[in-house]
A and B are shown apart, each in its own frame.
Chain A
Amino acid sequence: MIDVQAIRNDFPLLQQKIYNRPLVYFDNAATTQKPQIVIDTTNEYYQKYNSNIHRGVHSLSEKMTESYENARRTIKGFVNAQYQHEIIFTSGTTEAVNLVAFSFGEKFIKKDDEIILSQLEHHSNIVPWQLMCERTGAKIKVIPATYSGDLDLSAYERLFSDKTKIVSVNHVSNSLGTINDIEKIIKIAHCHNVPVFIDGAQGIHHQPVDVQKLDCDFYAFSGHKIYGPTGIGVLYGKEKWLNEMPPYKGGGDMIKAVTFEKTTYNDLPFKFEAGTTNFIGAIGLSAAIKYIEKIGRQNIFEYEELLLNYATEKIKTIPDIRIYGTSENKISVISFLVGKIHHFDTGMMLDKMDIAVRTGNHCNQPIMKFYGIEGTVRASLSFYNTTSEIDYLIESLLKIKQLFA
Chain B
Amino acid sequence: MLKMTIDQAQEQIVEEFSVFADWMEKYTYLIDLSKELQGFKEEYRNGNNLIKGCQSQVWLQDEYKEGKITFYADSDAIITKGMIALLVRVLSDRTPDEIATAELWFVDKIGLKTHLSPTRSNGLISMIKQMKLYALAYKAKYQS
Q: Which of A347, A359, A361, A404 contacts B78 (CB 8 A)?
A: A404
Note all chain A residues with C-beta closer than 8 A to B122: 344
CA distance A343 to B54 in the complex (A): 11
User: Could you tell me if A375 and B31 are in contact, using CB atoms closer than 8 angstroms?
Assistant: no
Residues of A with C-beta under 8 A to B142: none
- Decide yes or no: A342 and B27 within 8 Å by CB, A360-B55, A374-B57, A375-B55 being known contacts: no
Known: A344-B77, A344-B79, A345-B78. A359 touches B31 (CB 8 A): no
- Chain B CB within 8 A of A292 CB: no
> Contact at A352–B23, with CB atoms within 8 Å?
yes
Within 8 A of B (CB), among A337-359: 341-345, 347-349, 352, 359
For residue A191, CB closer than 8 A to chain B, the reply is no
* Interface residues contributed by chain A, number (CB under 8 Å): 16
User: Does chain B have a CB within 8 A of A1?
Assistant: no
B80 at the interface (CB under 8 A from A): yes
Q: How far is the CA of A345 from the CA of B16 in the complex (A)?
A: 22
Roughly how many angstroms separate A358 CA and B83 CA in the complex, as a whole number? Answer: 21
Instruction: Find out whether the CB atom of A348 lies under 8 angstroms from the CB atom of B57.
Output: no
Interface residues of A in 362-405 (CB under 8 A from B): 374-375, 403-404
Contact A374-B76, Cβ < 8 Å, known A352-B23, A360-B54: yes
The 10 closest A-B CB pairs, nearest first, are A342-B77, A344-B77, A344-B55, A344-B56, A345-B78, A345-B79, A345-B77, A348-B79, A352-B23, A360-B55
- A/B interface sample: 25 pairs, CB < 8 A: A341-B78, A342-B56, A342-B77, A343-B55, A344-B55, A344-B56, A344-B79, A344-B80, A344-B122, A345-B77, A345-B79, A345-B80, A348-B27, A348-B79, A349-B79, A352-B23, A352-B24, A360-B54, A360-B55, A361-B54, A374-B57, A375-B55, A403-B28, A404-B31, A404-B78
